[in-house]
A and B are shown apart, each in its own frame.
Chain A
Amino acid sequence: MTEASIAEISPGSFLAAIRTDEAPEPASTPSAFDGFYLSRSHDGIHWSTPESLAERGRMPRFYRFGDLWALAYRLYNGSQRIQHSAIRFSRDGKSWTGPVIVEDGVAVHPELVEVQGRIIAFNYLLPYGSEIGTRNVLSAPEFIYEQTGTSKPRR
């Protein structure tokens, strides 16, 4: 397990998003080492058996916008040339939306900031060394707030 990101979802309740090098598929599959898991803890020491997110993610990072959680990561599947920056959203850290694809052909996860009620994502495009970043605006995150039943962050 590697590239873990841990957030305190509620007081004393922790959630970790982790990339793993365990092989969920036959090891002969080149992309078999990119599983993506969630694990939970109530003390930061003991952790639940990881639950697969059923997709391949790398470099997860949690963000908090108002009462909305965002999990930003690189949705990656080498064999299918999928290299998206993606975000999932959650109100409670338990149920998450499907991935919102922000950008294609990225080297890393998106970096997020919230400005004036909008979420702005910054990405770094492949190939490495291209020095090209992109900025995407989630111009109507109301959709996300509706989906997750959360209220908008304060402006």
Chain B
Amino acid sequence: MNFTNGADSRPRNLCHRTETTRSIAALPTVGSSSFERTRLCRKCAFLLVSIWLLAIAGESQPAPLRLLDLLWVWANPEMEQPGPHTAASFARAGSTERARLLGVPNIALAGTGVPNDESKAGSLTAAAAPAPRLVWETTPDGEGIGPPFVYTKRMQQIRGLAQKYPQIEAILLDDMSTGKIDRGFRAAHVRHIREQLAGTKIKIWGVVYTMSLGTHLAECIAEVDVINLWSWHARDTVGLERHVSRLENDFPNKPILLGVYLYDYGGKRRMPLYLLEKQCELARKLAHAGRVAGIVFLTIHDDPEAIDWVAGWVKRIGNEEIRTPASQPRVGAGRTTFKAVSTGFTVARSKKAIVRAMTAGDQVKIDSSHDEGQTWQPLSAIRQEWQQVAAGYFSQTPPDSLLLTITIGRKDGKDEARQVCWIRSRDGGRSWSRPAVVMNLPPHTHAWDPSRSRVKGDGLTVPTMKSSPLGKSVDFGRWSSGATILDGLGTRQLRFHSRQMETLE
């Protein structure tokens, strides 16, 4: 899918190229008689060539991509009634009128898909042709939505339309992840469609719902060119970014178009405006980050408030230039999963690897990773005879060592006294010092973390700790006076322990 600015192929750019050709033709006519004149003319020619090169460089740069270029409207030709229409009759508006009402340029001709009737298909396409980019939903050959999923004639029809209307850039497989799959549509059918489209630039969009994301879809999604992602239930939009991240991870480099419903079809109610705004703003953010390649608006219900809101939003943000994707955080990119054993893992960086510590039974396991945390290998284990050891946290320590807190207690004494200790490794986590007790925890005390601090200068500055003595919350009044939270663990004492840490071997 070419998601660059559609303006690249507009006639005005071709006109620029014609002007440039004229300039090239004019160059050889510059003088050629005497040596001096030749030198002078060479200089002039060099200057002219330079100017021309600069000019052509400027002209050949595509117009900056704007958010507007990425916006689509879902059109339903089968619902169209004579207009003119307003936001109050949006559902009955034709394709270009829907686009006008929302203020978006691109049209996805959907609904019942390309009609069998060639002349009707042609007239519907012609009506939408002012759009710079078009997509046609397609159903299998003949009547119905399949099975069988044979697309031979339909794709011939599409090829013919695309020859006449080159802005048709893709076909759309609606409900691919739900109805189609349920009726037996498989990856082989996508490949069959692709074979029919061979030799064209027409891409394949597949509609995927967040509610149906799962492994059974993977093969089909892998075959399409573009994922058109929709949240059927408005309540699911809360996790939309997570779903995008998942698709990014599972199908890297496959463009994602976000579908935005203006009606909550899953909930059978109007789309709450705050959720509409939330979706639009998320889509905007992801588009700027280069994480989604477009946004498709869909409703077949007349809700003038929602239509007007989207139209106003498009007007506000449409001219925003897409910022450099590299300048945005792409948290979802490179997401991988791993086996963690326990919730209590803590991670730090040693000189050559990433190291993690986890409580595993009555010991602390240390693993290392040399591929930035994608895979882990066992490195060492910390055990204490007759004792149970639990991992705390790594401190941010000098690069030559790892500093870890552990809690040590009797194996059978969950609510007995325990000790919070420091241990230190100077070889990247392979071997560890003997534990140095930082604090003694009375029975029934839930506290273990004085380690989130930095070793600096002559000592450890300030501790962090969890504290909930006797299962009750610590009274803030007492805490704020420093009496409770630092009880028995004042700064001075910590500085002492910090110096002690330096000598741990």
Interface, chain A (partner B; CB < 8 A): 1-8, 14, 20-22, 39, 44-47, 49-50, 61-64, 80-82, 100-105, 107-108, 111-116, 120-122, 124-125, 128, 131-144, 146
Contacts and interface: CB of A to CB of B under 8 A. Distances in A.
Nearest to B447: A2
A46 B328 CA distance: 39
B343 A124 contact: yes
Contacts of A105: 242
B482 A2 contact: no
B462 A46 contact: no
A60 B476 CA distance: 17
A137 B334 contact: yes
Contacts of A116: 372
Contacts of A134: 335-338
Nearest to A82: B238
Contacts of B482: 44-47
Given A1-B479, A113-B347, A124-B345, A135 B340 contact: no
Interface residues of B, number: 58
B347 A100 contact: no
Majority DSSP secondary structure for residues of A touching B: strand
A136 B331 contact: yes
19 contacts: A5-B452, A6-B463, A20-B473, A21-B473, A22-B476, A63-B396, A64-B396, A102-B331, A104-B242, A115-B372, A124-B340, A131-B341, A132-B339, A134-B336, A135-B336, A137-B335, A137-B372, A140-B325, A142-B326
Interface in B283-326: 325-326
A2 to B, nearest CB: 5
Contact of B340 (A1, A132, A140): A132
Interface of B: 238-239, 241-242, 245, 325-343, 345-349, 354, 356, 372-374, 393, 396, 452-454, 456, 461-468, 473-474, 476, 479-482, 485-486, 491
A129 to B, nearest CB: 8
A101 B241 contact: yes
Nearest to B460: A8
B257 to A, nearest CB: 21
Given A47-B482, A114-B349, 20 more contacts: A4-B465, A6-B453, A7-B462, A44-B482, A62-B452, A102-B331, A113-B349, A113-B354, A122-B347, A124-B340, A125-B337, A128-B343, A132-B340, A133-B340, A133-B345, A134-B338, A135-B374, A137-B335, A139-B329, A143-B327
A113 B106 CA distance: 43
A125 B339 CA distance: 10
Contacts, number: 166
Contact of A100 (B326, B329, B396, B491): B329
A98 B347 CA distance: 24
A37 B348 CA distance: 26
Nearest to B333: A139
Across the A-B interface, give the 3 residue pairs with the lowest CB-CB distance, nearest first. Answer: A133-B340, A137-B334, A45-B482
Contacts of A125: 337
A3 B332 CA distance: 28
Given A120-B372, A133-B337, A140-B327, A4 B485 contact: yes
B338 A135 contact: yes
A62 B463 CA distance: 12
Nearest to A122: B347
